[in-house]
Structure 1
């Protein structure tokens, strides 16, 4: 049976041809496609100016015109409500459900019964992409109840751990720079409210400096790891980007300093006296904070300067395999720890924060008796999220992007599975009106903060919602 034609609205997405490809694929299948640009980077992306090369010409969206929203953010609520009604939109597709424009759009869509699909880099790595209803982490409809997870995994195939597609960091970096530098201009979107925290130039210069020093940094980290006693308990703290909404929206912490300080103090009081803690900085952290010095001060203050170490540029898997346990706020490194059967504690909201998967007895007890993840539940969890929340592919490599577009078009046309009914009620965000979301946006300080700053390269992170 041929699906009834639907009306898709594309808002901000990954900085690559993924959304243009989805739009073209859905249009070719008889659906109506709309696009709204809210910044200059959006405008250039939709016109294909970031990828003029021949291999990307199939993603030209000349047949799908876009509407530009270049008015003050205070008018966005009325604009998006009118647009959804006037065009009888049935589906909204976006990346970054916590971005200011998207929060308001989601609230308006939910009021009207419009399906919202959020995408991002996969919870699984390295060649998976999320397609999920409403949002990720705390907004995910995926259940946290083990029985419901087993039900979802009942007919799911075993997880394919082979690597099918290679992504392109070169494309990712180049397109990210184009997008955010374009948004530094006040023309032709003078009222754009960025979702980022840091100015673009310092962020890129900091990232570049880290990449230049990567070789020397890696050698120091290797020397440090080799010096640690092999029989001593070893724990890993996997840092995240402060600009990532996984920290800003789905954790109790205002920054990364706070959970780091909490972990170091707990480690000092409760870890075995011969234990060591390594803190791994995120690979794409812009270096605007000197984390090595900050961590050293925390460790000295807690009296464990000789047992808390800063590491950078080392492969994550090797560190996880050596660790007796992994601490993180809600990084996807936690899912990798589950795959490698390493105990994990999540300090914030996380998809994998499930009794039987993560240590739930508190951080203080984790250092001495970390709970091993249940292997049967882990297998069911991985199979369930692979089947219900992901498609296979990548954002930046041509072959993997093509595969992702084909799979995502089929998934969107068929409709994403409704699994929200098997978990707790949705957070209050989804029931608030667009005007309430605008009030919250102004009150929480994000508007004031972002009005002063330009964009930073957080969309090149493992979570692209920055």
Structure 2
């Protein structure tokens, strides 16, 4: 089976080189930035490709980062040109000689364009991403995050069994803006609180899979309003990779004795000391389950499973869940089975130097489309 590894940056290239080496699968790694020459033969298939989704997503991404709502027409026009320009650049590299294409995430701008070309040749996709649990990566033929193939049925995890232990330490991320919180001091945390991690407003998790929370400012507004009807304390932490400035939200929090920003604390500490975690659909929600915390999800997430988490699809639903927070008892056995399935059955190890035979075999089967 011939595999095309489509990469758009050096980190992806390194990861895919390791995957190719460890699996010993046949194929080629291409780096999108080095595909310079447009293909005129791509004109024949122009009416068969649909680039509207990557164009729309990239336009939303730009507006979420920088605003300029009034310039949406021009922003969309620029990304329309870039989408078709990349389509012509990638066309000769993604050919029918390949059986499958491995790419990052799948719905991001350049990857989605590559995927449209792959569809022309019936090339099957495999989607990759880092994370969900410490030292793990995702390889999934359905997609990543909300689109992944993890079972959603409570009965599946009730029947699952695994005696091996789970990790008890989170691996700190290496964010794009690593120095953002380097000089931020820790605060005196309230004795009891709910932890709310901010996400990146322009991440696909928010742009594509958050039906009612538009961005982190709206999330803050929702929680601020809830403090008017409850005495619960809420602790926020900004996402270190975000380029957004929330100085105004810090000022509003300073005037409300139930709201705190704790950028100087580690995520693990904030999870461990909390009574519960509210997240749109962040990986922090899964990490909180490692510490058997109550997790309330506001967006579309694959871990909204009865007995494991609560799903609030509106501000009113969130308020109702919080009113009965003390009476809600998640199922610890179900949570443990869910996490063990992720860690041992669904995910792959990200430390390639420690790959043993079972991990190599699992990787090979995933790339060859063999059921595990």
TM range, normalised to the smaller chain?
Answer: 0.7 to 0.9
The worse-fitting range, judged by mean Cα deviation, of 107-116 and 380-389 is: 107-116
Change (3 A) 1:212 1:322: closer
RMSD of Structure 2 on Structure 1 (CA)? 3.3
Correspondence for 1:8 among 1, 4, 8:
4
Q: How many residues align?
A: 320
Residue in structure 2 matched with residue 385 of structure 1 by the alignment = 342
Q: 1:386 to 1:166 in 2, by over 3 A?
A: closer
Provide the residue aligned with 1:33 in structure 2. 27
Q: Which residue of 2 aligns with 1:397?
A: none
Instruction: Specify which of 65, 68, 73 is matched with residue 83 of structure 2.
Output: 73
Aligned partner of 1:19 in structure 2 is 16
**Distance in 2 between residues matched to 1:235 and 1:123, nearest whole Å:** 21
Distance 1:137 1:144 in 2: 12
For residue 130 of structure 1, the aligned residue among 115, 119, 138 is: 138
Q: 1:296 to 1:374 in 2, by over 3 A?
A: farther
Answer whether contact 1:250 1:348 (CA < 8 A) is retained. yes
Gaps of 5+ in 2: 40-81
Q: Cα distance, 1:342 vs. partner?
A: 1.3
Equivalent in 131, 139, 142 of residue 150 of structure 2: 142
Q: 1:268 aligned to 2:274?
A: no
Within-5 A mapping of 1:135-284: 135-151=143-159, 153-154=160-161, 156-161=162-167, 208=179, 210-213=180-183, 217-219=184-186, 221=187, 224-225=188-189, 228=190, 230=191, 233-252=192-211, 253-265=213-225, 267-272=226-231, 275-284=232-241
Is the Cα–Cα contact under 8 Å of residues 278 and 311 in structure 1 kept in the other structure? Answer: yes
Structure 1's 24 and 318: CA in aligned 2 closer, same or farther, altered over 3 A?
Answer: closer
SS of the residue aligned with 1:117? strand
In structure 2, what is the equivalent of residue 354 of structure 1? 305
Cα distance in 1 for partners of 2:293, 2:257 equals: 24
C-alpha displacement of 1:373:
2.1
Query: TM-score, structure 1 length as denominator?
Result: 0.60
Determine if the alignment matches structure 1 residue 315 to structure 2 residue 266.
yes
Shift of 1:143: 2.0
Length-normalised TM-score, structure 2: 0.73
2:28 aligns to what SS in structure 1? strand
1:279–1:311 CA contact under 8 A, matched in 2: yes
Is the contact between residue 93 and residue 118 of structure 1 (CA under 8 Å) also seen in structure 2?
A: yes
1:330–1:307 distance in 2 versus 1, CA, 3 Å: same
Q: Secondary structure at the match of 1:367?
A: helix
Distance 1:387 1:369, change over 3 A: same
Which structure has more RCO (C-alpha within 8 Å, separation ≥ 6)?
A: 1
